[in-house]
Structure 1
């Protein structure tokens, strides 16, 4: 069969969860017969990935790769911490990192569509899912580019459970690593108070107002209390106002000033953030299997 329609490829992808190139090849090998193509993929272990597509991949590792004026930071997820430590997963993490740093991708969608050695990143993740035996997903890809005079700082904590990347106004390896380490440890949400969005401020103000009213404070006192508590909250969530992790007597802003530098931006990733994990009852699962036998 010469031509395989895009619609047929799409249908096979939806039925098996296999990658586009694998689906196209399977259809060509089976003269466009969907059922035979499904069997073809199953025989090669590729369609096994489809069975895992509904599972939650909330473990894994994060990675940050710096190469000259480019850096990429991303998260590769697996279903269990055990798999995240195995050789195949670590090789996959390295392969993805190299592919991303040598490309122009700026986000996850672009990363999945990136073609490396004739196959997309999405396809080799699906193939990895079949090989490794757990759902493997790529998420939260960020590419950062700097000027020659600027500097990067990167830090990986707990073997990649938490990673951070900072862009400095001036290149300084020591300051870069120190600030990246601080970001990994203290988890700031914003660079400074000016970068906190209005919705976050309003929400926190409302929470603090309700707290103060619950304490039975009079309205005129409540207003002053909120200002103080809001400022305290901002110092906790803004990088430059936090006590510097290596010297808590200094704020990060003071440490930067002492070293004649500034932070332009930063990214911090922690494995599984924002993924709703499914709590499985292992005893119930074993009981159900035993009952079926």
Structure 2
């Protein structure tokens, strides 16, 4: 099977692995990115867990919360060039749309709504004519909770929303720190219960493949596999991750400093790769 340079480039951007290794992985997997990444991980390459391997697109993200911080919305506009995605005009337009998006529950209603006598979709079309590039509202994600915080990474490629069970004991700075941690550390789930069985099984398969090559007794191998699975769960669940601003404590321990009864109800982390 012929593998294109663009496929190799995309896999390299997703994994950080060398060109020849990426090419080999794509050939072995017949161009399937999920299988290619599993192939690389079985070889022992240290690759961050990715939840989705979307086509790389240019664009920017913006998240906002309402004044009471009881809900938040993340929207994302795609465009054709990174130059436009980073421009002040594009980001100002995105910021304006983000504030309006708080009035609506879903993408369809938002696009068909009116702002100063014009539909949001028509405003986007007008902007396309002004900048000379195709622009599309690709992302509209809304969460609700008693207290919601947001964070936008400074390159506008990552945006997070996190919902807490209460405002009691924490302020916007503390909540934003956790939203920022989510942006940086990309947890799979809030806790172990939230990790899909399919992800655990895939990880077990990769770890078992790596351990099987070691010259050790079977019972020791089982113990190593169990230990590695446990570490995988701790490293990839939000409450068990080491807090990015203080790696001596976990996120759960950071929360407990302010309110032992506080729960994280929901979060999302949206990226433009």
Residue-pair matches, total = 211
Matched, 1:160 2:161: no
Greater per-residue helix proportion: 1
Contact kept in structure 1, 2:187 and 2:237, CA below 8 Å: yes
Tell me which structure has the larger Cα radius of gyration.
1
RMSD (CA atoms) = 2.1
Tell me by how many angstroms 1:177 deviates.
Answer: 1.3
Alignment of 1:194-205 (within 5 A): 194-205=193-204
| Match of residue 114 from structure 2 | 116
Structure 1, unmatched stretches of 5+, are 1-55, 273-293
Q: 1:204 offset after TM fit, Å?
A: 0.8
TM-score (norm 1): 0.66
* TM-score of the pair, normalised by structure 2: 0.70
Q: Which residue of 2 aligns with 1:76?
A: 77
| Counterpart residue number, 1:140 | 139
Q: CA deviation at 1:159?
A: 4.2
SS at match of 2:143: strand
Deviation string for 1:239-267 (max 9, x for gaps)?
11111111111011111112112211111
Show the 5 A alignment for 1:173-212.
Answer: 173-212=172-211
Cα deviation code 1:4-45 (max 9, x no counterpart): xxxxxxxxxxxxxxxxxxxxxxxxxxxxxxxxxxxxxxxxxx
C-alpha deviation, 1:179, in angstroms: 0.6
Sort the Cα spacing of 1:87 and 1:226 in 2 relative to 1 into closer, same or farther, 3 A.
same
Corresponding position of 2:100: 99
| TM alignment of 1:137-286, pairs within 5 A | 137-146=136-145, 150-171=146-167, 172=170, 173-260=172-259, 261-272=262-273
Q: Tell me if structure 1 keeps the 8 A contact 2:71–2:147.
A: no
Structure 2: runs of 5 or more not aligned: 1-54
Q: Which moved more, 1:56-65 or 1:117-126?
A: 117-126
What is the correspondence of 1:13-28 to structure 2 with a 5 Å cutoff? none
Q: By how many angstroms is 1:84 displaced?
A: 1.5
